[in-house]
A and B are shown apart, each in its own frame.
Chain A
């Protein structure tokens, strides 16, 4: 079993819908949680960065962390075709020396 599980998709939604993404993990030492967006043939772009449990909102993006359930989520409101990309969750512990553990990525398609 992988340390971080993420549904590969593809997740197809109509423009304007809410995109809901999630990851589950098994390592209770993870404290920092990130969501990256990766377009084809590009490097990952940081979308959200959270520490420990709780919610964080930035524009159309909301990240949620539930450490008790070892479950993190990313919501994208008012989705646009330009949101079509692969979304990667990543996480690490405090003593990890910044090394990240990634999910496999979820491919999202927003149809006009």
Chain B
């Protein structure tokens, strides 16, 4: 149980393109989802906390207009990287927590590798 699906797994696109990444909880509902960024050989860096039906909470230094987050349902959160540039190239990972079980761990998707040319 507690499967999180992330799509797409790999994106290669030109500079200036906007890219949308989807994060779905397949077998549970998730009031809260998280978006992370991971650079090679480094740990995960939290970008934002996504709450269903409300605005996301962004970590310090993360541009909310650059990384748009929408959490419209209890099973889906999306991250849109707007007007992406080469420096946005990274591994983006989402996670979700089972609704009503705030003492439970985060379950992670398999990540999206974004490459901006």
Q: Which of A43, A46, A88, A104 makes the CB contact (< 8 A) with B111?
A: A43
A32 at the interface (CB under 8 A from B): yes
Considering the complex, give the chain B residue whose CB is closest to the CB of A43. B108
Q: Which of A43, A94, A98 makes the CB contact (< 8 A) with B32?
A: A98
Interchain nearest-CB distance for A48 vs B (Å)? 9
- Given the interface pairs A32-B103, A36-B108, A97-B49, the reply to whether A44 lies near B93 with Cβ below 8 Å is yes
Interchain nearest-CB distance for A91 vs B (Å)? 11
Chain B residues near A45 (CB-CB < 8 A): 108
Q: Mark B88-117, 1 if CB is under 8 A from A, else 0.
A: 000101010100001111111111010000
Residues on A facing B (Cβ under 8 Å): 8, 32, 34, 36, 41-46, 49, 51, 88, 94, 97-100, 102-105
Residues on B facing A (Cβ under 8 Å): 4, 6, 32, 34, 41-44, 46, 49, 91, 93, 95, 97, 102-111, 113
